[in-house]
Structure 1
Amino acid sequence: MSQGSYDDTIKFRAGALKEAAGELDAIHLGGINISELARAGLADMLRRSMTDEDKITLYERYKAGEISEEATRLLLGEEFDLLQEDIEEFAAAAEDDTSQYLV
């Protein structure tokens, strides 16, 4: 796990990104919401960077109460609900009486 704290503002050297955003803001009718674009872009890149193992670990941490549902949903997107459904179906199948199938 990383030693950094995300309680503070996330900072990086924007360079050409800052210049490009400023130019688009200047020419776009009504301007652009750079903060919203940055949030959406970061969320998308975080999702893309996750492996299947990361997703499982994240969901397990959510179930253990170590991470909020909001953060889990942000990272997993639609997969959050799919995982919930799969777990419920698995639990229901585990409770089924299978004695009639034994030979």
Structure 2
Amino acid sequence: MKLKKDAFKAVSDSNRRAILMILSHQDHTISALADNFEMSRPAVSKHIKILSESGLIHIQKKGRERICKLNGAGFEELSLWINYFDTFWKERLKNL
């Protein structure tokens, strides 16, 4: 059984965050994603692998192409953590 990688580590890299932003607008092949960066396709593929292993994206094979899509369920851990601190700070400000 393969363990899911940490979503927080996955989003710690600015290139991976940029990939997620691109995918938030439209699904892309790995080649199409690589066109948006000044790095090699293998380097983009490594970032894609990390995002996939963390559950933030899903890769669908279509013939020879691999289509990358956001996986909403993968963002739950991040969302819960951010929402906790959002509520925390709102309460702190309300108590001022």
Compute the TM-score of the two structures, normalised by the length of structure 1: 0.30
Structure showing the higher helix proportion among its residues: 1
- Structure number with greater Rg is 1
Structure showing the higher strand proportion among its residues: 2
Which structure is higher in RCO with an 8 Å CA cutoff and minimum separation 6? 2
Compute the TM-score of the two structures, normalised by the length of structure 2: 0.32
